Chains A and B, each alone.
Chain A
Amino acid sequence: MSHTLLLVDKDRDYLQAMSAYIERLLFDVYLAATTSETTHMVDFHTPDYIVADPDLPDADGIHFLLKIKSQFPQTLLIILSDEDRLDDIMRRMQLNAFSYVRKPVNSKELELTLLRAKEWHKQKEKINRYADRLGALHKATSLYHQLFDEVPCYISVQNKQYRITATNNLFKKHFGDAIGEYCYKAYKHRSSPCPECPVFKTFQDGKYHTTEEVVTSKDGRQYNVITWTAPIKDDETKITQVIEMSANITQIRQLQNHLESLGMMIGSMSHGVKGMLTALDGGIYQLESGIRRKNEARINKAFTVVQEMSERIKKMVLEILYYAKSREVNAEKISIKKFADNIIETVQPIADKKDVKFIANIPDNLNEFEVDLHWFQAALVNILENSIDACEGDDCQSEYTVKFSVSENKNNMIAFHIEDNGMGMDQETQDKMFTLFFSSKGSKGTGLGLFISNHVVTEHGGRIDVQSELGKGTTFTVFVPRMQVVPKKEKGFYLLNVNT
């Protein structure tokens, strides 16, 4: 640290004497006896200290020194003066001078003053350094705050008692402010710490831990998250808090589940598909050999088989496409009577061919509703076909009927009733009927139909109720709201209905 000192006094001998003394105190000393010399010295050497007697020959010394001070505010001024002028000087300079020393100068007093000035200077430099560091710290803090708040992860900081001391914006948005709450309550709505808590582990061993969890937002939604915990230490040793960061991987898991179930679906369907293709081969062989042998009976029968198999394969391909894509309801208004009549037109010939009596009862006054015309019709037709098949596969009754009717329910719901007196279903079949694991075999189909029918109905905000008794028959009731609410949910993927 430099200690440049400028000594100013009109008496040059005095200057010499003082300079020798001051140099012993380890200052680099420069001398000036006039304001012009002083100006020159100040410009050249920018002294840290100026020890001066304002009584100068060529100008108003006080005014001059005040000007120097204003130009170089860092320079410390020490004023030496005779007793009688001192009052006036002090009055005019006030705090612009660091200290005032009476002439004749008490050498000890001067020495101590200079040392104090040095010390002051040192402290000032320290403060400047601290101010710089504070500035940098402030920048870092503000950057940290930005990161903390803008990072698209849930971040919370917990203390040893599991209480949350800080949360970022995303956390607040999904789990509430939560400061002071127990983390297991805010994240999981629990009343005690989670088993295998990663925060606890980090408190124990000071290491990073990562787990996968299912958390519950403040409005009850469940998210899959990957969680990392890291220790926060004070002064490099003790762990005072743990920071917990969670990334929302719900969509990834959904996609993963969807792909897995897609794979499983294709695997479970492959047997049915192969059966259908073999039957189609059979039809084509019989068609070709029938033409060759000019066997008209064979040709006709073969053609029916080919038609039927093509129809089934087409249906299956559409079902796979529907399942593979995430699909929104494409709702259109239609008169309920007209919609039902379309279905009757499609189903009547199928029932006739299988010797099943199809009874439809559609009132005229039900007005309109909003549904996805293709898929909602496909859903109902699918259920009706199943009912017809249930009759075909049974032989206990003398006459088989499938009844189809529509009514309006409370809450503005439209209900479609499909009742058959066919073979009925046992409890296990009823439980599994809407899942992908329930599959019919061979060329009859793939079992995807009912799963998709159920999905279409629930996508409309409706549901399917099933009543069935083995050996007696089955009744399906399909509920759908009259009007569609504008969809607000995020694009999800279909999952296997394994449990319900």
Chain B
Amino acid sequence: MSKKILVIDDDPNIIDYLTTLFEDNGYEVNSASDAQKGLELVKANPPDLITLDLEMPGDWGPRFYRKMTQIDALKNIPVIVISGLTSNQYAIQKAVATISKPFDKDQLIKIVKDTLME
């Protein structure tokens, strides 16, 4: 069974890109364009990995993460932060990785593969 990735980003073009990229690499992909929808999806159908943008309308990335980790069943889901904010290394301490936009897709895939192998 293929692993599930949830992509959370407010930019539809980027959701499109990541979805295609991950599906091409054999993953099942769901997406949400804001934190609230993202939280609903996580609760309904917990993914194996989440990629998270930081700057979004409504709750921003770190707030989503805080809300998610308050739920026992969900707090261990690995999160990769993908953001255009320059000081993003300070945003979510427990993220598996933090990468800047625009990113190197090969590097991203490698991080995803390494994270999901464990």
Q: Which A residues are closer than 8 A to B by beta carbons?
A: 270-275, 277-283, 285-286, 289, 298, 305, 309, 441-444
Across the interface, do A278 and B55 meet the contact criterion of CB distance under 8 Å?
no
Is B101 at the interface (CB under 8 A from chain A)? Answer: yes
Find chain B residues with CB under 8 A from A281 CB.
Answer: 17, 102-103, 105
What's the interface size class on B, roughly?
20 to 34
For the complex, give the distance between the alpha carbons of A275 and B84 in Å: 7
Complex Cα distance A439/B3, Å? 37
Residue B91 at the chain A interface, CB threshold 8 Å: no
CB-contact partner of B11 in A270, A279, A283, A298, under 8 A: A279
Q: Are A274 and B101 closer than 8 Å at their CB atoms? A: yes
- A286-B17, A305-B13 known, 20 other contacts, Cβ within 8 Å: A271-B84, A272-B84, A273-B84, A274-B84, A274-B101, A275-B11, A275-B84, A275-B101, A278-B13, A279-B13, A281-B105, A282-B14, A282-B18, A282-B20, A283-B13, A285-B21, A289-B20, A298-B20, A441-B55, A442-B11
Q: By the criterion CB–CB under 8 Å, are A270 and B17 in contact?
A: no
Q: Which residue of A lies closest to B17 (CB)?
A: A282
B86 on the A face (CB < 8 A): yes
Q: How far is the CA of A283 from the CA of B11 in the complex (A)?
A: 13
Query: What is the interface of chain B, defined by CB distance below 8 A to chain A?
Result: 10-11, 13-14, 16-18, 20-21, 24, 55, 57, 84-86, 100-103, 105
* CB contact under 8 A between A271 and B55, given known A278-B102, A289-B24: yes
A442 touches B14 (CB 8 A): yes
Which A residues lie within 8 Å of B24 (CB)? 289
Residues of A within 8 A of B21 (CB): 282, 285
Q: Which residue of B lies closest to A282 (CB)?
A: B17
A444: nearest chain-B partner, CB-CB: B11
Determine if A271 and B85 form an interchain contact, defined as CB atoms under 8 angstroms apart: yes
A278 touches B86 (CB 8 A): no
* Interface SS majority for chain A: helix
A309–B12 alpha-carbon span in the complex (Å):
13
Alpha-carbon separation in the docked complex, A283 to B14 (Å): 9
Residue numbers in B under 8 Å from A280 (CB-CB): 102
Residue of A nearest to B84 (CB): A274
- The distance in angstroms between the C-alpha atoms of A286 and B18, with both chains bound, is 10
* B10, B13, B57, B103 pick with most chain A CB within 10 angstroms: B13
A286 (CB) vs chain B CBs: closest residue: B20
- In chain A, what residue has the closest Cβ to B10? A442
A443 touches B10 (CB 8 A): no
Residue of B nearest to A271 (CB): B84
Which 5 interchain pairs have the tightest Cβ spacing?
Answer: A282-B17, A274-B84, A442-B11, A279-B13, A274-B101
Q: Among B16, B57, B102, point to the contact of A277 (Cβ < 8 A).
A: B102
B85 pairs with A443, CB closer than 8 A: no
Indicate if the CB atoms of B13 and A282 lie closer than 8 Å.
yes
Least distance between B109 CB and chain A CB atoms (Å):
11
**Contact indicator A279/B20 (Cβ below 8 Å):** no
Q: Which residue of chain A is the closest to B21 with respect to CB atoms?
A: A285
How far apart are A62's CB and chain B's nearest CB, in angstroms?
106
Least distance between B6 CB and chain A CB atoms (Å) = 18
Pick the residue among A274, A278, A442 that contacts B17 (CB under 8 A): A278
- The residue among A274, A279, A442 with the most chain B CB atoms within 10 A of its own CB is A442
24 A–B contact pairs at CB < 8 A?
Answer: A270-B86, A271-B55, A271-B84, A272-B84, A274-B100, A274-B102, A275-B14, A275-B101, A277-B101, A278-B11, A278-B14, A279-B11, A279-B13, A281-B17, A282-B16, A283-B17, A285-B20, A286-B16, A286-B20, A289-B24, A305-B16, A441-B11, A443-B11, A444-B11
* B17 to A: closest C-beta gap in Å: 3
Nearest opposing residue in chain A for B56, CB measure: A441
CB closest chain-B residue, reference A309:
B13
Q: Are A279 and B17 in contact (CB under 8 A)?
A: yes
A283 to B102, CA, bound (A): 12
Docked pose: A272 CA to B100 CA in angstroms: 13
A446 to chain B, nearest CB (A): 12
Q: Which residues does chain A contribute within 8 Å of B11, judged by CB atoms?
A: 275, 278-279, 441-444
Residue of chain A at shortest CB distance from B33: A442
Bound Cα distance A442, B21 (Å): 19
**Bound complex: CA A273 to CA B102 (Å):** 9
Contacts of A274 in B (CB 8 A): 84, 100-102
